[in-house]
Structure 1
Amino acid sequence: MTQQYFTTSLLVSESPLTVFNAINKVNKWWSEEIDGTTDELNAIFNYHYEDVHRCQMKIIELIPGEKVVWQVLDNYFNFTEDKEEWINDKIIFEITTVEDKTQLTFTHVGLSPAYECYDACYNGWTNYIQNSLKDLITTGQGKPNGKDKPQTENEKALSAKKN
């Protein structure tokens, strides 16, 4: 039986290159608190949201207008007991043309219902891909999280726990 990992897709009118460029502006759709370069092959960048989630990503594939792949080098959640979740996972953005539209298929290879973080991660990725990244692609304005700016119900709940 094939392992099923989290995946979601969206269809937009914008060009494949516009979608590709938006993906690489990670601080405009995922988190304002991104440190490092997010648009160069082999670059390493860090994500964090308060003390709730931190991770380090390496860009291992970058094909303009077609594909972006990140590998998770390190990860920390303050709400899971398993400290290995996400480590060595791959985050894949595949861009294809469907008739006169551009389809973005996002897959988090490794993220399955067996993960302790699955519900929070499922909700987070769904929000950031289907809402924030889509808005960045179609309007030029995403909705990334940031210090004291939770964007999902899970982020709001986890941020509230520390207060």
Structure 2
Amino acid sequence: MAGYKRIVEVDVPASAIYAAITSGVVNWWTTGSGDASEVGMVFSTRFGETYNHIKVAKLVPNERIEWDILEHYHANDTLKRDDEWTGTRILWNLIELDENRTRLEFTHEGLIESMECWDICEAGWNFFLLESLKPYLEKGEGQPFQHEQ
């Protein structure tokens, strides 16, 4: 299935990326997130009124993570559809290049250019992968969305 794809090389071992994606989502994506460390677990992410309910579908430690988007609500007055992510999948493949360098192959299956939210979502993923997750992993300085509780 087609979707948004991004490859990011990070100067850390695969185990650090795996930990950030499974149990450290609050450090780089949104502070309004739950835990994603067990298969079958459903966690939520929040960006103000926008939210996702995500099921952890597969975990292969230090190699692969799969998430299924069960429910999505995009709070944006310019969009006609507010649920375009529902039914999409997020895939994380980790390929260790050496003991301190890993290639992260990220795919959001089903997030395609013909979707109304494409521009917003592409910009969001570009930011969170390149400007938040990568710096969080390499320098300890992520820029997660600050969700007010």
Per the normalisation by structure 2, the TM-score is 0.90
Cα distance in 2 for residues equivalent to 1:4 and 1:69: 15
- The residue number in structure 1 matching 2:143 is 143
Greater helix percent: which structure? 1
Deviation of 1:142 (Å) = 1.1
Structural mapping, 1:1-163, within 5 Å: 4-24=2-22, 25-34=24-33, 36-51=34-49, 53-79=50-76, 80-98=79-97, 101-147=101-147
Cα distance in 2 for residues equivalent to 1:129 and 1:13: 14
Deviation of 1:41 (Å) = 1.2
Secondary structure, counterpart of 1:116 in structure 2: coil
Question: Is the Cα–Cα contact under 8 Å of residues 8 and 103 in structure 2 kept in the other structure?
Answer: yes
Question: Percent same amino acid among aligned pairs?
Answer: 26
Based on CA coordinates, which of the two structures has the bigger radius of gyration? 1
| Matched length | 144
Cα distance in 1 for residues equivalent to 2:144 and 2:88: 22
Deviates more, 1:14-23 or 1:95-104: 95-104
Deviation of 1:71 (Å) = 0.3
Runs of 4+ in 1 over 6 A off after TM superposition: none
Higher relative contact order (CA 8 A, sep 6+): 2
Cα distance in 1 for residues equivalent to 2:18 and 2:7: 14
Deviation readout 1:38-93 (Å, 9 max, x if unpaired): 21111111111112x11100000111110111100000012221233011100111
Deviation of 1:99 (Å) = 5.3
Cα distance in 1 for residues equivalent to 2:123 and 2:141: 20
Cα distance in 2 for residues equivalent to 1:69 and 1:23: 10
Going from structure 1 to structure 2, the CA distance change for 1:37 and 1:23 (only over 3 Å counts) comes to: closer
Gaps of 5+ in 2: none
Question: Is the Cα–Cα contact under 8 Å of residues 52 and 72 in structure 2 kept in the other structure?
Answer: yes
Secondary structure, counterpart of 2:15 in structure 1: helix
